[in-house]
Amino acid sequence: MLNVIDTPDPDFMQEEEITLFSDSVGKWIDEHAPPEEVQSWIANSTVPRELWNKAGEAGLLGLSMPEEDGGMGGDYRHEVVLMRQLGWKGADHFGISLHNAIVAPYIWHYGTQEQKERWLPRLLTGELVGAIAMTEPGAGSDLQGIKTTAIKSGNGYVVNGSKTFITNGQLANFIIVVAKTDPAAGAKGTSLIVVETDGAEGFERGRNLHKIGMEGNDTSELFFNDVKVPGENIIGGGEGMGFIQLMQQLPQERLNIAIQGVAAAERGLSETLAYVKQRKAFGKTVLDFQNTQFKLAEVKTKLTVAKVFCDHCIGLHLKGQLDAVTASMAKYWVTDIQGETLDEMLQLHGGYGYMNEYPIAQLYKDARVQRIYGGTNEIMKVLIARSL
């Protein structure tokens, strides 16, 4: 555990079961995702496929999946622990939190009993790797503008369209596709349909996109050309519920991003402190300069405030009270703070901060996307402004 932020965790995160779980997740990451392993993910632009199965064996998939659905019976705190440990240890290129805390919940929240039985056990073992495909080349922020269709044909659906920027896109074989089941009906004609891609004719993966950061995570184009999907694959069983389901789940996705942002910036502060304590200039350490102390005092303050706000949001979410506006505030403000503080911390490394081999360089690059995905920070402000 990093101890760069002194403010104690809220009581609900200090329960013994949660702290013990945190220690065991930390050990798992040390064993399966040490820094040299993360470097190989970056070199290959993806994690090894078997890492998903290993995570399944360790019980890390489906952490908050209800016990009655075969899950671990944990709750959102367990997902928080996983996200924080991955961030603290620099292993957050592994897209496990997307699988656990974004994709799988659509099934246990809205899936029919038959869908839960068909998919959840395989999402739990890593046999299925999850992704969610909303964004298209022509529609990102304006999700209502998507063109992908899932049109009824006999007992099933035929899916056509292109998606882009899809996280886990090279390895995922369980893809929740946002598609129009009734293109004339706008938001009400949108559904979430699962495409199991193993052996799916007409499904193609495009490029594993070359990114400026988060390089160890696969992000892809996906193409659907007359892909036949069983009628039972519409999440919830009925057409037209896609937008409502997305709107209900996006607050958790946005809180996830904020939590990941704080954890990554905490790691940045820990790395920066270690660096400025040993780097010498003008016969002193860099930390001896008052400018460095003031900058790091600002960073520590900002990260403390960010963490406390995230903790507040986690508390609300555990009670089922996290609304879309508050989650948007967390996503936009915390990721802005993440970018701002990591920029300051890179500066304190001088030229070494610009070298890829230094963790601060990776953290700086990785932070940039946080203000873009999950809804851009501008869209977060649009949502907040509606509440004024």
Ligand X SMILES: Cc1cc2nc3c(=O)[nH]c(=O)nc-3n(C[C@H](O)[C@H](O)[C@H](O)COP(=O)(O)OP(=O)(O)OC[C@H]3O[C@@H](n4cnc5c(N)ncnc54)[C@H](O)[C@@H]3O)c2cc1C
190 is a site residue for ligand X (CB under 6 A): no
User: Is 263 or 367 the residue whose CB approaches ligand X more closely?
Assistant: 367
- From 120-128, 145-153, 249-257, 372-380, give the range in contact with ligand X by CB under 6 A: 372-380
Residue 333, token pair as written in the block? 């403000």
Q: Does 165 bind ligand X (CB under 6 A)?
A: yes
Nearer to ligand X, 200 or 372 (CB): 372
Question: In this structure, what DSSP letter does residue 237 have?
Answer: S
Residue 140 lies near ligand X (rule: CB under 6 A): yes
59 to 98: interface string for ligand X, x by CB under 6 A? ----------------------------------------
135 binds ligand X, rule: CB under 6 A? yes
User: Which of 14, 382, 385, 387 contacts ligand X by CB under 6 A?
Assistant: 382
Q: Is 379 in the site for ligand X (CB under 6 A)?
A: yes
162 binds ligand X (CB under 6 A): no
**Burial profile 339-372: b = 16 or more Cβ within 10 angstroms, e = fewer:** bebbebbbbbbeeebeeeebbbbbbbbbbbbbbe
Q: Which of 65, 134, 159, 303 touches ligand X by CB under 6 A?
A: 134
Interface with ligand X by CB under 6 A: which range of 129-137, 147-155, 187-195, 254-262? Answer: 129-137
141 binds ligand X (CB under 6 A): yes
> Closest distance between ligand X and the C-beta of residue 137, in Å?
8
For the CB of residue 289, give the shortest distance to ligand X in the complex, in Å: 36
Q: Is 133 in the site for ligand X (CB under 6 A)?
A: yes
Answer for which of 33, 82, 166, 222 binds ligand X (CB under 6 A) is 166
Closest approach of ligand X to the CB of residue 271, in Å: 23
CB 131 within 8 A of CB 172: yes
Q: Which of 278, 263, 264, 285 lies closest to 361, judged by CA?
A: 264
Cα separation, 115 vs 127, in Å, equals 16
Distance CA 312, CA 114 (A): 36
Question: Are the C-beta atoms of 61 and 74 separated by less than 8 Å?
Answer: no
- Give Cα separations from 353 to 27, 64, 92, 350 (angstroms): 28, 37, 20, 6
CA dist list (Å): 90 to 55, 128, 241, 258: 17, 25, 37, 16
> Which listed residue (79, 215, 239, 253) is catalytic?
253
Judged by CB under 6 A, the chain residues 94 through 113 that form the site for ligand X are: none
Residue type, position 38, single letter: V
Comparing CB distances to ligand X, the nearer of 214 and 241 is 214
Q: Is 253 a catalytic residue?
A: yes
Does residue number 47 form part of the binding site for ligand X (CB under 6 A)? no
Q: How far is CA 273 from CA 269, 277, 299, 365, in A?
A: 6, 6, 11, 19
Closest to ligand X by CB, 5 vs 61, is: 61
Q: How far is the CB of 7 from ligand X (least distance, A)?
A: 30
CB atoms within 10 A of CB 158: 17
Instruction: Give the three-class secondary structure for 227.
Output: strand
Phi, psi of 170 (to 5 degrees): -85, -30
* Helix, strand, coil percentages in the chain from 3-state DSSP, rounded to 5: 55, 15, 30
What residue is closest to ligand X based on CB? 140
Task: Catalogue the E-assigned strands of the chain.
Answer: 130-133, 149-153, 156-167, 174-180, 190-196, 203-208, 219-230, 280-281, 284-285
What whole-number distance in Å separates Cα of residue 98 and Cα of residue 116? 18
Q: Does position 376 bind ligand X by CB under 6 A?
A: yes
**For residues 317 and 255, is the Cβ–Cβ distance under 8 A?**
yes
Among 73-81, 135-143, 190-198, 334-342, the segment contacting ligand X (CB under 6 A): 135-143
CB of 83 to ligand X, least distance (A): 16
**223 lines the binding site for ligand X (CB under 6 A):** no
Applying CB under 6 A, which of residues 132, 327, 334, 346 lies at the interface with ligand X? Answer: 132
Give yes or no for residue 369 binding ligand X (CB under 6 A): yes
- Judged by beta carbon, residue 244 or residue 287, the one nearer ligand X is 244
Binding stretches for ligand X (CB under 6 A): 131-135, 140-141, 165-167, 211, 214, 219, 369, 372-373, 375-376, 378-379, 382
| Positions marked active-site | 253
